[in-house]
């Protein structure tokens, strides 16, 4: 019998480690925490990570199986990385094995043995530098390559020769043979020419840079609160430059894939360093490579979306999280974590600064700034002479609308186009219209599997459910009364596109939503097209609100914001004000002043008037007071237990049992709200209920959950349902 047991995190929903025996010919010294293994699990093999090694087991040692394979001779993850994963699993009350599985790149977790791919670089050797043109002129192709390499003055990759439309391989080979060209294998991309800005940071930027750099070697969270176009990115660049020059690495987190190429381009132009990118649009190999290079320290900057927050750093120096208010930092299924909150924990563990940048801080972050947990840095003015946009409300009450567009808005669009400037129209829904209705009997296209309406997509002639994905062809007659009097109700991006096309037939119109940008590179093409300039109209959903830089847009119209004024979700007003401010920030970013027109039927709504007359900061201040009075986050802490099943009865049975359990646990300060049906009771054929747990402090809530959740897992009625726990939920759906 061995004298030790391996305690392995395996990708399963069971929240514990699994004990395995070592391989028979191995010694204790062959094993270390953080190594990957494959293990027999049920009838399959699964990959896992050794999280501890113990000298005894609670199980019958004779029944334990040995691992199938030891994948790493030295640990893939170090103690610090493991500690972060363990913290995340315990904070989010999520099975540790799944936490690893869902946050490591697939190729890394599936146990492939990987090494960093090397790049082949070519450069002129010393002796060929002293050659003269005339020495090589007998071989014109070699001469061309020689001139090219000489001009580049730094090692180049082979794709640098792609500009030659002849076979450059054989002349290059001859030059290598002659010792004229050196070939080297490197981890690192060659550094291209670096731009230096033709301006110096303004006083607000400089103050922000100085504050962060003063605590470069200690943990601190900085909230960089700067209006759109105030030069936040410039602050990031300067900070990164300084951190890199001290030999450390920088992790940069963004909410949205489509923003990465734009920002990566800007970074590469300014920073002489090896930068890697990680997001879900890349293939498995690319993601694994980025992960490895950052972990090993050959890449100095990692630019990534949510899951990149887990990438190990060789020499941690700084974390930057841009658009910190953005909901996409929260994973909404499976392992429900907040990349922002994990990033802050990481910075604290690594004792480095973290900068949270935004023009519209979340109420959570403002609260933390008010309580001096975060340091509040502000950039109040737009740079380079750009002024704040004018925001106006268009009262749509009793106005004749032309397919949802008001006269004043149409007139403004026409004037903007006449000046050869660009327009953004913001619509909150993709598709043509959210409802198809029968004029003679009132029939409405409903999803059979969800409590929701089917959205009309005219381009593809489909009725689609945006919740479960069901699609039908659009009927020509009413399924109930057979009359052919079906009409669309409400607006979507496609419908506005159609109306705009009829008003401005000669103007290029681009639609930007999840349908139109599904194709890879589609978003980049849109951005390129817009940056070419000229009169154009962009119609898009909130995808448009995120960080893109469109210098020629001087008019933004918002068409359907009223729903946000009357939502039952207590965060709806915060989201709406962030959205309006962000969308408005797309207008007039350079020397031209921007104008924002908001169509509403409630121009006197206090939320709108506060936001427009006094700005986001005033709205936020007021909203925080209301949250405190209503005992809501960030003043109170929440966790949401979600339950669903095909049969409503199974859900109710489980909830009865859960309440029984709850009645046996000391509640302390924890209050229980519900159970109640989810705002959308039925979705994808499953009935959904929820139970909200809330407490004025974090600790009692988590203690309560630590007792409740394992007991829930043991319930017999739990086998017929699916449940999940969402810590600090940001969406009560």
Among 164, 166, 199, 487, binds ligand ADP (CB under 6 A): 199
- Contact present, 688 and 678 (Cβ < 8 Å): yes
Tell me the closest approach of the beta carbon of residue 193 to ligand ADP, in angstroms.
Answer: 17
The H-or-E segment that residue 600 falls in is strand 595-600
What is the binding site for Zn ion (CB under 5 A)? 438, 441, 443, 447, 449-450, 465, 467-468, 470, 478, 480-481
- Contacting range for ligand ADP; rule: CB under 6 A; set: 4-12, 200-208, 593-601, 609-617: 200-208
User: Any contact of residue 331 with ligand ADP (CB under 6 A)?
Assistant: no
Among 220, 221, 230, 406, binds ligand ADP (CB under 6 A): 230
Q: Could you say which DSSP state residue 309 is in?
A: G
Q: Which of 273, 381, 265, 362 is nearest to 321 (CA)?
A: 362
| Partner from ligand ADP, Zn ion, none contacting 232, C-beta within 5 to 8 A by type | ligand ADP
Tell me the closest approach of the beta carbon of residue 589 to ligand ADP, in angstroms.
Answer: 7
- Contact present, 261 and 289 (Cβ < 8 Å): no
Q: How many other β-carbons are positioned within 10 Å of the β-carbon of residue 118?
A: 12
- Contacting range for ligand ADP; rule: CB under 6 A; set: 15-23, 227-235, 330-338, 595-603: 227-235
Q: Which of 404, 434, 408 is nearest to 498 (CA)?
A: 404
Structure tokens given for 538 = 């962009």
Q: Are strands 44-54 and 5-10 parallel, antiparallel or unpaired?
A: antiparallel
| Partner from ligand ADP, Zn ion, none contacting 478, C-beta within 5 to 8 A by type | Zn ion
Tell me the closest approach of the beta carbon of residue 561 to ligand ADP, in angstroms.
Answer: 22
User: Any contact of residue 229 with ligand ADP (CB under 6 A)?
Assistant: yes
- Backbone phi and psi for residue 550, each to the nearest 5 degrees, phi listed first: -120, 90
Tell me the closest approach of the beta carbon of residue 226 to ligand ADP, in angstroms.
Answer: 5
Q: Which of 180, 183, 175 is nearest to 127 (CA)?
A: 180
Give 511 or 586: the residue with its C-beta nearer to ligand ADP: 586
State the Cα–Cα distance between residues 501 and 403, nearest whole angstrom.
Answer: 12
State the Cα–Cα distance between residues 678 and 154, nearest whole angstrom.
Answer: 61
User: Any contact of residue 226 with ligand ADP (CB under 6 A)?
Assistant: yes
- Contacting range for ligand ADP; rule: CB under 6 A; set: 132-140, 201-209, 241-249, 564-572: 201-209
Tell me the closest approach of the beta carbon of residue 477 to Zn ion, in angstroms.
Answer: 8
Among 202, 241, 286, 524, binds ligand ADP (CB under 6 A): 202
Give 142 or 228: the residue with its C-beta nearer to ligand ADP: 228
Q: Are strands 220-226 and 374-379 parallel, antiparallel or unpaired?
A: parallel
User: Any contact of residue 338 with ligand ADP (CB under 6 A)?
Assistant: no
The sign one gets for the Cα dihedral 600, 601, 602, 603 is positive
Tell me the DSSP string of 482-537: --S-EEEES--HHHHHHHHHHH-TTS-EEEESTTTT-STTHHHHHHHHHHT-SSEE
Place of tokens 């869902």: 102
Task: Please give the order of strands across the beta sheet that includes 44-54.
Answer: 18-20, 5-10, 44-54, 36-41, 69-70
- Backbone phi and psi for residue 558, each to the nearest 5 degrees, phi listed first: -115, 125
Tell me the CA end-to-end span of the chain in Å, nearest whole number: 52
- Contact present, 210 and 216 (Cβ < 8 Å): no
Tell me the closest approach of the beta carbon of residue 544 to ligand ADP, in angstroms.
Answer: 15
Contacting residues for 243 by C-beta, under 8 A, at least 6 apart: 216, 249, 250, 317, 318
Among 7, 205, 220, 658, binds ligand ADP (CB under 6 A): 205
Query: Pattern 380-409, binding to ligand ADP, x per CB under 6 A?
Result: ---xx-------------------------
State the Cα–Cα distance between residues 425 and 412, nearest whole angstrom.
Answer: 12
- Contacting range for ligand ADP; rule: CB under 6 A; set: 103-111, 195-203, 461-469, 672-680: 195-203
Among 228, 406, 582, 638, binds ligand ADP (CB under 6 A): 228
Tell me the closest approach of the beta carbon of residue 321 to ligand ADP, in angstroms.
Answer: 13
- Contacting range for ligand ADP; rule: CB under 6 A; set: 140-148, 222-230, 341-349, 392-400: 222-230
Give 436 or 596: the residue with its C-beta nearer to Zn ion: 436
User: Any contact of residue 234 with ligand ADP (CB under 6 A)?
Assistant: yes
Give 261 or 297: the residue with its C-beta nearer to ligand ADP: 261
Burial class (CB in 10 A: 0-12, 13-18, 19+), 502: exposed
User: Any contact of residue 194 with ligand ADP (CB under 6 A)?
Assistant: no
Give 383 or 412: the residue with its C-beta nearer to ligand ADP: 383
Tell me the closest approach of the beta carbon of residue 413 to ligand ADP, in angstroms.
Answer: 25
Contacting residues for 173 by C-beta, under 8 A, at least 6 apart: none
- Contact present, 369 and 376 (Cβ < 8 Å): yes
Query: Pattern 356-385, binding to ligand ADP, x per CB under 6 A?
Result: ---------------------------xx-
- Contacting range for ligand ADP; rule: CB under 6 A; set: 15-23, 110-118, 232-240, 659-667: 232-240
The H-or-E segment that residue 588 falls in is none
Tell me the closest approach of the beta carbon of residue 393 to ligand ADP, in angstroms.
Answer: 25
Give the three-state DSSP class for 293.
helix
User: Any contact of residue 270 with ligand ADP (CB under 6 A)?
Assistant: no
| Partner from Zn ion, ligand ADP, none contacting 447, C-beta within 5 to 8 A by type | Zn ion
Tell me the closest approach of the beta carbon of residue 208 to ligand ADP, in angstroms.
Answer: 11
| Partner from ligand ADP, Zn ion, none contacting 228, C-beta within 5 to 8 A by type | ligand ADP
Among 231, 304, 431, 633, binds ligand ADP (CB under 6 A): 231
Give 287 or 549: the residue with its C-beta nearer to ligand ADP: 549
Beta-sheet strands, E only, within 134-290 = 156-157, 181-186, 220-226, 249-253, 275-278
Tell me the closest approach of the beta carbon of residue 556 to ligand ADP, in angstroms.
Answer: 15
User: Any contact of residue 232 with ligand ADP (CB under 6 A)?
Assistant: yes
Burial call 338-376: b when 16+ CB within 10 Å, e when fewer: bbbbbbbbbbeebebbbbbbbbbbbbbbbbbbeeeebbb
User: Any contact of residue 531 with ligand ADP (CB under 6 A)?
Assistant: no
| Partner from ligand ADP, Zn ion, none contacting 450, C-beta within 5 to 8 A by type | Zn ion
Where do contacts with ligand ADP occur on this chain (CB under 6 A)? 199, 201-202, 205, 226, 228-234, 383-384
């Amino acid at each position: 019998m061995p004298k030790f047991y391996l305690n392995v995190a395996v990708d399963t929903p069971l929240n514990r480690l699994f004990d395995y025996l070592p391989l028979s010919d191995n010694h204790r010294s062959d094993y270390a925490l953080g190594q990957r293994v494959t293990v027999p699990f049920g009838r399959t093999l699964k990959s896992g990570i050794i999280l501890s090694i113990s000298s005894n087991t609670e199980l019958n040692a004779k029944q334990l199986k040995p691992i199938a394979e030891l994948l790493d001779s030295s640990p893939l993850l170090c103690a610090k990385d493991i500690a972060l994963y363990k913290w995340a699993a315990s904070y989010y009350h999520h099975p540790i094995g799944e936490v690893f599985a869902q946050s490591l790149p697939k190729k890394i977790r599936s146990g492939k043995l990987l090494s960093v791919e090397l790049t082949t670089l070519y450069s002129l050797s010393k002796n060929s530098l002293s050659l003269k043109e005339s020495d090589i002129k007998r071989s014109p192709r070699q001469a061309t390559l020689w001139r090219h390499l000489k001009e580049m003055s730094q090692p180049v990759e082979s794709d640098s020769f792609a500009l030659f439309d002849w076979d450059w391989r054989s002349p290059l080979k001859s030059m290598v043979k002659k010792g004229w060209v050196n070939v080297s294998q490197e981890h690192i991309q060659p550094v291209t020419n670096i731009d230096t800005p033709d301006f110096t940071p303004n006083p607000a930027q400089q103050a922000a840079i100085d504050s962060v750099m003063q605590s470069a070697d200690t943990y601190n969270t900085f909230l960089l609160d700067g209006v759109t176009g105030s030069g936040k990115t410039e602050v990031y660049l300067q900070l990164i430059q300084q951190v890199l020059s001290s030999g450390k690495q920088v992790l940069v987190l963004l909410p949205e894939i489509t923003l990465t190429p734009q920002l990566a381009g800007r970074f590469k132009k300014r920073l002489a360093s090896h930068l890697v990118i990680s997001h879900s649009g890349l293939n498995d190999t690319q993601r694994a490579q980025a992960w490895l290079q950052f972990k090993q320290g050959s890449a100095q900057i990692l630019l990534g979306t949510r899951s990149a927050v887990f990438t190990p750093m060789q020499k941690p120096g700084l974390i930057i999280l841009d658009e910190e208010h953005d909901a996409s930092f929260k994973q909404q299924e499976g392992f429900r974590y907040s990349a922002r909150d994990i990033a802050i924990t990481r910075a604290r563990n690594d004792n480095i600064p973290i900068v949270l940048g935004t023009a519209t801080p979340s109420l959570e972050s403002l609260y933390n700034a008010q309580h001096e947990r975060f340091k509040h840095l502000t950039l109040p003015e737009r740079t380079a002479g750009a002024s704040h946009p004018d925001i106006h409300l268009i009262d749509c009450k009793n106005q004749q609308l032309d397919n949802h567009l008001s006269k004043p808005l149409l007139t403004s669009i026409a004037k903007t186009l006449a000046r050869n400037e660009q327009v953004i129209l913001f619509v909150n829904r993709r598709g043509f219209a959210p409802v198809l209705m029968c004029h003679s009997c009132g029939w409405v296209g409903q999803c059979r599997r969800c409590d929701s309406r089917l959205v009309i997509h005219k381009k593809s002639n489909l009725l689609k459910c945006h919740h479960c994905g069901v699609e039908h062809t659009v009927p020509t007659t009413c399924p109930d009364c057979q009359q052919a009097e079906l009409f669309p109700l409400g607006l979507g991006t496609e419908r506005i596109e159609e109306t705009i096309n009829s008003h401005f037939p000669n103007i290029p119109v681009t639609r930007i939503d999840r349908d139109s940008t599904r194709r890879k590179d589609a978003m980049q093409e849109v951005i390129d097209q817009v940056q070419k300039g000229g009169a154009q109209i962009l119609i898009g959903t909130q995808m448009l609100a995120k960080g893109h830089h469109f210098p020629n847009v001087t008019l933004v119209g918002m068409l359907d914001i009223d729903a946000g004024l009357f939502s039952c979700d207590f965060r709806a007003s915060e989201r709406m004000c962030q959205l309006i401010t962000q969308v408005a920030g797309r207008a007039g970013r350079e020397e031209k002043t921007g104008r924002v027109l908001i169509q509403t039927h409630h121009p006197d709504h206090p939320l709108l008037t506060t936001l427009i007359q006094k700005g986001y900061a005033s709205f936020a201040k007021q909203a925080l007071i209301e949250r405190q009075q209503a005992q809501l986050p960030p003043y109170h802490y929440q966790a949401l237990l979600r339950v669903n099943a095909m049969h409503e009865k199974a859900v109710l049975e489980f909830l009865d049992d859960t309440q029984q359990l709850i009645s046996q646990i000391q509640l302390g300060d924890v209050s229980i709200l519900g159970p109640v049906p989810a705002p959308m009771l039925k979705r994808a054929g499953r009935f959904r209920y929820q139970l909200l747990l809330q407490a004025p402090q974090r600790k009692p809530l988590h203690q309560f959950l630590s007792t409740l959740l394992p007991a829930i897992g043991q319930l017999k009625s739990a086998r017929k349902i699916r449940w999940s726990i969402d810590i600090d939920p940001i969406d009560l759906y």
